Structure 1
Amino acid sequence: MEDRFSAVVDVEGDVKQAFFGVFDGHGGAKAAEFAAGNLDKNILDEVARRDEEDIKDAVKHGYLNTDSQFLKEDVRGGSCCVTALIRKGNLVVSNTGDCRAVMSRGGVAEALTADHRPSREDEKNRIESTGGYVDLVHGTWRIQGSLAVSRGIGDSHLKQWVIAEPDTNVVRIKPDHELLILASDGLWDKVGNQEAVDIAHRLCIGVEKAEPLSACKKLVDLSVSRGSCDDISVMLIQLGRYV
């Protein structure tokens, strides 16, 4: 199991601020462990240095600083990441790699991230423009015939092409923003966005007692029942408490 997670609530003593993350390690768990233990602090340090409107830049540098620190450890492996910073009524979702964030908005699934894979035209062009190549290996597009994701923390041997810069999406939290699902690709390779929202919605919205843990377990079990042999991590955040 190379996945790790981070959940920090009551940031700076404020019940309306929190940080959540899912980290999918490859080539060992070291990069995922490092990201889970350091990314939140690095992002919050950068946020403290900037005006509120520079939140995307703060998150970007938090990711890049975490990557730089991990590379100095001289340890092999890497990690995909998806994170959610909740601050001052905003949901700030970022990702590198193929961990994904999906929100339930009135019961309708809305992906807040796009997977970074070598098969994406823009990612393929970026890699090839810097001297790398993307190849189809046993049905999967890979960088240098090796890695099946194009962004992440670590991966020192491919760092020229596997960048740590995240894509970030800032959303003002509204009353119809019900749930946020953060998960590694072990879930998303077998379970659709709307399907995941439907299962979580049934157990958490409009019921006498919400069961987010049961929803996470059901999603994991569904992916396994469909043949997933990958590590699977699922985190569910109830957004209503942050409106």
Structure 2
Amino acid sequence: MEDRFSAITNLERDPKQAIFGVYDGHGGSRAAEFAAKNLCNNILGEIGSERNESDIDEAVKRGYLATDSEFLKEKDVKGGSCCVTALIKDGNLVVSNAGDCRAVLSVGGFAEALTSDHRPSRDDERNRIESSGGYVDKFNSVWRIQGSLAVSRGIGDAHLKRWVISEPETKTLRINPQHEFLILASDGLWEKVGNQEAVDIARPFCMGTDQNQKPLLACKKLVDLSVSRGSLDDISVMLIPLRRFI
């Protein structure tokens, strides 16, 4: 199991501020462990030093880049990690990703992907890689960088760092009553379960008054479904009810 996760709630002693993350390691769990321990704190540190709230995207970006740089300074660095984070602050939801961990929002029961997977098959990613002197090829129906890695962004991957960048893509939106819950998950889920299907399965567990353990049951149901469909990948699922943050 090379996936990891993190959750920091009650930021600044405010129950309506929090930050969450899911990390999908490859080539070992060290990068995912490092990201789980450091990425969210690095993001919070950068946001805390940012005077202009409108520049939160840049602050998140600096947090990702700093985490990558710090990890690459570790001894015997191996492997890498895809990352997806969700910051909830001042009524805003700030979702960022590097790699193919995905964030899917339920908007009145309709699934809205807030991230786009970073894979070498994406035209813009392939063009970026090739313009930097790398190559992308396809083997057994999977597109890979330098015949090796099937994701094009993430923390770590020192041997491919010229092409596997840690710069995230970020989307910010204002949380409103239609925003029911957010699913953060590694690709072990999304390779077998569609965005809308995941929302449809999780939603009955997330609506109503008694929500003590129901989100956890929804996560387990999604994991079990992916496994039943033949997933052999690591699977991590986090479900964040959003109405409590309004």
**TM-score computed with the length of structure 1 as normaliser:** 0.99
Shift of 1:239: 0.1
Q: Where do 1:1-243 residues align within 5 Å?
A: 1-50=1-50, 51-74=52-75, 75-206=77-208, 208-209=210-211, 211-243=214-246
Q: Measure the CA separation in 2 of the matches of 1:83 and 1:208.
A: 27
Shift of 1:164: 0.1
What does the per-residue CA deviation read over 1:113-143, in whole Å, with 9 as the maximum and x for residues that have no partner? 0000000000000000000000001110000
Q: Measure the CA separation in 2 of the matches of 1:118 and 1:103.
A: 25
**Which ranges of structure 1 fall in alignment gaps of 5 or more residues?**
none
Q: Measure the CA separation in 2 of the matches of 1:87 and 1:52.
A: 11
SS at match of 1:63: helix
Q: Letter of the aligned partner of 1:217 in structure 2?
A: K
Q: Measure the CA separation in 2 of the matches of 1:209 and 1:173.
A: 19
Q: Measure the CA separation in 2 of the matches of 1:161 and 1:28.
A: 20
Q: Measure the CA separation in 2 of the matches of 1:56 and 1:173.
A: 17
Q: Measure the CA separation in 2 of the matches of 1:204 and 1:84.
A: 18
Q: Measure the CA separation in 1 of the matches of 2:58 and 2:11.
A: 20
Q: Letter of the aligned partner of 1:182 in structure 2?
A: L
Shift of 1:208: 4.2
Shift of 1:41: 1.0
Q: Measure the CA separation in 1 of the matches of 2:22 and 2:176.
A: 23
**Which ranges of structure 2 fall in alignment gaps of 5 or more residues?**
none
Q: Measure the CA separation in 2 of the matches of 1:205 and 1:163.
A: 38
**TM-score computed with the length of structure 2 as normaliser:** 0.97
4+ residue segments displaced more than 2 Å: 206-210
What does the per-residue CA deviation read over 1:201-223, in whole Å, with 9 as the maximum and x for residues that have no partner? 01111364460000000000000
Q: Measure the CA separation in 2 of the matches of 1:208 and 1:41.
A: 32
Percent identical: 72
Shift of 1:14: 1.1
SS at match of 1:85: strand
SS at match of 1:118: coil
What does the per-residue CA deviation read over 1:90-129, in whole Å, with 9 as the maximum and x for residues that have no partner? 0000000000000000000000000000000000000000
Q: Letter of the aligned partner of 1:226 in structure 2?
A: R
Q: Measure the CA separation in 2 of the matches of 1:42 and 1:112.
A: 22
Q: Measure the CA separation in 2 of the matches of 1:13 and 1:110.
A: 30
Q: Letter of the aligned partner of 2:83 in structure 1?
A: C
